[in-house]
């Protein structure tokens, strides 16, 4: 639902953050491979500027991404040289993969259950799904009361993420995967190789 100017700004942020996001997502993909070494093909939902796809190819995997921001998709194709398709992934899309990933995506969609089920439908046998979202636990719930008023107190911890429309606790995400048929799930936070902080991407790897 974003207008063209907002889409341009979103892409500009990704492009300007390339030197940070590319090594972070490369590290994330490496950690995923240590947990699911059988992965040969990768499908990313909301691939942005193509950094995760590039990491996948660096480690010898075949990767395809779907991205509805035309500026980001074009950058991914032209500059990252990856297979980024500017279109919506749906049930009729004839693609399947060993790993289906959504990094910073499910918090933006109004029906994350349907989106997760769509991802599940694109898995090959013994495939895995990886989802990374900003987790929002019970102790932070009061902040949601003031999210619509930037002048309110306490301050909104989502002041820089006002386009997040669905919030997840870790338990909620684990239950989502379980209810969609995952036989196991593994939570981990990827190592931050840029800032040497405690971690970068928090997420769950679901096995089917």
User: Which pLDDT tens digit goes with each residue over 175-192?
Assistant: 999 999 999 999 999 999
pLDDT over 70 percentage in the chain: 88
Mean pLDDT for the stretch of residues 125-152? 76
Mean pLDDT (whole number) for 140-149? 61
pLDDT of residue 53: 98
Distance CA(49)–CA(22), nearest Å, equals 10
**pLDDT band per the 50, 70, 90 thresholds, residue 165:** confident
Across 29-52, average pLDDT:
98
Which pLDDT does position 170 carry in this prediction?
95
pLDDT for residue 198: 75
Residue 140: its pLDDT value, please? 67
- Dist CA 29 CA 55 (whole Å): 7
The confidence score (pLDDT) of residue 163 equals 73
Cross-strand bridge partners of residue 72: none
User: What are the backbone angles phi and psi of residue 204, rounded to the nearest 5°?
Assistant: -130, 135
C-alpha torsion sign, points 136, 190, 54, 113: negative
Closest to 22 in 3D by CA, of 50, 44, 42: 50
Cα torsion 136, 137, 143, 148 to 10°: value is 40
C-alpha to C-alpha distance for 73 and 144, rounded to whole angstroms? 32
Report whether pLDDT(92) > 80.
yes
Residue 58 parent element (H or E): helix 51-58
pLDDT of residue 157: 57
188 sits in which H/E element: strand 184-189
> Can you state the angle between helices 18-35 and 4-16, rounded to 10 degrees?
80
For 44-86, write each residue's pLDDT tens digit: 999 999 999 999 999 999 999 999 999 999 999 999 999 999 9
């Amino acid at each position: 639902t974003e207008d063209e100017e907002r889409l341009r700004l979103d892409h500009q942020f990704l492009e300007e953050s390339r030197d940070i996001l590319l090594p972070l997502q490369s590290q994330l993909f490496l950690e995923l491979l240590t947990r699911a070494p059988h992965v040969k093909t990768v499908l990313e939902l909301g691939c942005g500027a193509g950094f995760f796809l590039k990491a996948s190819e660096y480690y010898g995997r075949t990767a395809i991404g779907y991205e509805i921001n035309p500026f980001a998709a074009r950058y991914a194709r032209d500059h990252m040289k990856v297979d980024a398709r500017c279109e919506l992934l749906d049930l009729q899309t004839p693609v399947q993969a060993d790993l289906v990933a959504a990094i910073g995506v499910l918090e933006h969609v109004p029906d994350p259950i349907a989106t997760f089920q769509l991802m599940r439908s694109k898995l090959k046998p013994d495939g895995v799904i990886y989802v990374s979202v900003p987790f929002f636990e019970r102790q932070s719930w009061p902040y949601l009361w003031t999210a619509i008023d930037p002048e309110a107190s306490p301050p909104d911890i989502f002041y820089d993420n006002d386009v997040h429309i669905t919030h997840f606790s870790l338990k909620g995400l684990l239950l989502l995967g379980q209810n969609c048929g995952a036989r196991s799930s593994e939570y981990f936070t990827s190592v931050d190789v840029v800032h040497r902080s405690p971690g970068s991407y928090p997420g769950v790897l679901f096995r089917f």
